Structure formats: structure tokens, C-alpha cells
Amino acid sequence: MRRHRNVKIVATLGPASEDYDTIRALHEAGADVFRLNMSHSDGAHEGIVDKHRIIRQVEKDLNSPIAILADLQGPKLRVGVFANEEEELQNGAAFRLDLDEAEGDVTRVCLPHPEIFAALEPGSSLLVNDGKIRLKVTECGKDFADCVVVAGGTISNRKGVNVPDVMLPLAALSEKDRADLEFVCELGVDWLALSFVQRPEDVNEARELCNGRAAILSKIEKPSAVERFNGILAASDGIMVARGDLGVELPVQNVPPIQKRLVRTCRAAAKPVIVATQMLESMIDSPMPTRAEVSDVATAIYEGADAIMLSAESAAGSYPIEAVTTMDNVAREVEDDPTYTQIIEASRKASRTSVADGIVAAAREIAETTDIKAICCFTQSGTTALLTARERPRVPILALSSEMDTARRLGLSWGVNCVMTERLDRFKMAVLNAARAARTQGYASALDQIVVTAGVPFNVPGTTNILRVAPCQESLIYSTDRG
């Protein structure tokens, strides 16, 4: 299914989008990747199985590879319960967090996480209920933290707690996450998103458990992850800029420059990056977004993000298909803007150190200086397509692969349109297949030319070493190719 844009759209599935007709309509409207949120599975996987089955049926019916992203919950830090279910904390009041399981009141509540107390120091901040309540630690020990209320408000049962300015001795994978990881990998998802990543070791642990069954995407939602971003990126296959939690744990004005920096760093590394959270939040209840939301989506596209994501808008909102359609329309309009091309090309600063880097850079330059309709790259592992996407060419990228897992995973990458092909062992057959795909997919006519990149010997990952400008007319390929 050809998209008339390069940025990809990730749509989260939920109660508003769990039947065949809706999921198919979401894909036809523009959703390239479907996200399964494991935070809502509560240990019951039947709903996840049903959604996965429907996505694969839509994929088969439309002959269109679809990527599935399973998003693990990560460890959840929450306070206990209150005798009155909620209390009102006043600015300047004293408030204690401890390990006492007794019901809380206006002076204290249980925080059943001894690992937090082990990491706290006087002066540390604690944020409750998405940062609406802010506490500052005045004194602490192994089983308590005495705090002063910096920003008061209503605190109630089991509200979440963020600890922004200390490195918590917590694994990124809880027991629930481990069970969910094994389940979705066996089920057959393409990407696995890790929550609460603080260090590269968190990613390495998940990769070992995945054992090649899914690509690893790290969610950047903590200050410690921003500080260690280069190491986390090196250990990951992709990144999600999770602006919701990031905006809670950091001053909100810090988030936009961080977003821009992370997107550019990911692009330079040829690894896909998603910008996520509250992109069209008002469309949960409204068929129209706000102007500010449209501008936010556009900004992520101008920055060169590989994908933009819908969360509750498509999972639980009243207008899931309209939300995807809106994102698709905004993306098309932005990418048609000459300023977009100028910004993208001005930010092209990739370090080229390999033959493959040189091949894909040459493919882009040839395509942009002559009348080339598409860059067709044969890829087994996906690396060639990722390097081509890093170049952000002005012409479409057609990735041809005999590996369905590769084609699906590339659904997250900027501008990459995936087509399945049989395994090949001769370059002439690669050129013929590329020409046929370009014609049948509507990227070129028999009178046009394409650029074909591949690796010889075939079917060996990481061997991109050949480039050819080829006609799309098969008789001309036969007459000019002696291979």
C-alpha cells in the first residue's frame, strides 16, 4: 500500500479500535505501525492475541506488510491507599512516605518501594500524580522519607510516583514485563518497546531475552536516559521520545530541545525514532484537533522524525480513524512544503565510513540530479534500507526483501516502502524484480529509470556494494545486462 508521505504513523490499539473493520480502516487511513500497550493487559493476553491475529489478517488481505510494536509497561512506582481514599496536601506542609502498610492520611502514606528510599538523599524531589504534586525530601532513611510539600494538591489511592533526580536501583524489566516479553516474542511482534530505560545495560538485558525475535526500541522518558543517550542508542535498534514522562521529570521547557537533539542523533545513526505522547490529545473527544496540536505534529515532521504516534487518540478516543487521517493530512502538507526539503537537507550530516554508506549516498545524489523515479534497495537484514532512509532522498525508497520479518520492521522507518520478493542469486534478476515492483506499485512507468542497490554475493547481510541506474522496461534490461 503506497503512502504519499515519508514519515510513518504509529496507532495504538485499544477498546476503540479492536475489531477487524476498524483496524483495517486505520491502516487504509494511514497507520503504518500498530502499537499494543502491555500496560493494559493486566496479565491477561487474550485481547493481545485477538488484535495480533486481526492485524496479520489485514496484512494478508491487503498484501501490505504491517509492523506490530509491543510496548512493555516497565516498573510502576505508586503510593499505597488512604483511609479516606484521598487527601488534600497544602503547600509547605510536612508529609512522610514510608514502608508502613497502614492506610494513609494527610500526614503520611505507604510507598512500598524500599529501593526508592535506598537511593534518596536530602534535597531529592518526588513527583506524584504526573507531577501535579511535588515533594522535597528533608530527611530520609532506609524505610522513610520526610518531605515538605512544594506544590500541593489532591493525592489519592495508588497514584504514580516519579523520582527525577536520582538513578534508581531498579531493573527496567519487572516480572510482569518478563512474562509479557516472552509472550509477545512467541506471538510474533516486530518491535519491543522498553519503558523505564535508565542505562544501556537495561537494553542489553532485554535483547538477551528477545534472542533476535524482535527489534528493541528504547523509550526515553527519564533524565538518566537522556544523560546516557549515546550508549542507549548504540544498544538499541530504535528510539521513542516519550515526552509525557519526560515532561514530568524535567522542566517542560527542556523537552523541545531534547526532542530535536535526540531525533537528529538517531537519524545520524540510521536508527528509527518515534516522537510520541499527546500529539492530537484533543481528538480523544473532538473530531478536530487544536491548532497547537497540528503545529506539534508538523514540528516533529520538520525535525525529520521517522514516525509520529497516537496513543489514547486511537486506542480509546471517539475518533480514531479521523485522528489517523488528520496525521496523514498534516504529514502530506508538511512534506510538500519546500521549506521541509530545505530543513531536511540542511541537517544531513551523516558520517560515512563504509562502502555501504558511500553506495546509498551516491544513490541519493544520482536520484536527485537526474530523472530517477525511485531508489530500489535489496535488503536481507534491513541495514541497506535504514542507511538509505538516513539520507532522506527526495525520491521514494523501495525496499525489496525475501524476509517478511525485515519488511515488517522497516515499516517504522522514514520513507521506506516494503515489497516482498523471492530469494535471488543474480544481480540481473534483482534489477528485473526492482523494475517490476516500481511499475506495479506505481512508482515508475516503463519509460522511467530507477536506481538499484544490492550486495554481492546475494543473501549475505551487510554486503551492499553495487549500484546501477536501470530502465524500468524489461526488454531494455535484458539488452543492456550481460549478467
Distances (CA, A) of 319 to 62, 287, 288, 291, 453: 23, 6, 9, 17, 41
Q: Which of 193, 284, 273, 186 is nearest to 238 (CA)?
A: 273
Q: Which residues contact 179 (CB under 8 A, 6 or more apart)?
A: 43
Considering 78, 261, 264, 436, which one is annotated as catalytic? 78
Question: Which strand ranges, in their side-by-side order, compose the sheet holding 133-141?
Answer: 108-110, 94-98, 144-151, 133-141, 125-128, 161-162
Query: Is position 277 annotated as part of the catalytic site?
Result: yes
Say if residues 426 and 410 touch (Cβ distance below 8 Å): no
Angle at 409 between CA 407 and CA 415, to 5 degrees: 75
CB neighbourhood size of 422 (10 A): 8
Strand partners, 8: 307
Considering 277, 326, 379, 388, which one is annotated as catalytic? 277
Considering 219, 222, 243, 260, which one is annotated as catalytic? 219
Peptide bond into 457 cis (omega under 30): yes
Secondary structure (DSSP) of 18-55: -SHHHHHHHHHHT--EEEEEGGG-TT--HHHHHHHHHH
Q: Which residues contact 38 (CB under 8 A, 6 or more apart)?
A: 48, 70, 71, 72, 73, 177, 180, 184
* β 372-378/215-220 pair status: unpaired
Considering 8, 35, 134, 409, which one is annotated as catalytic? 35
Query: Is position 108 annotated as part of the catalytic site?
Result: no
Grid cell of 443 as nine digits = 512508482
Catalytically active residues, by annotation:
35, 78, 219, 277
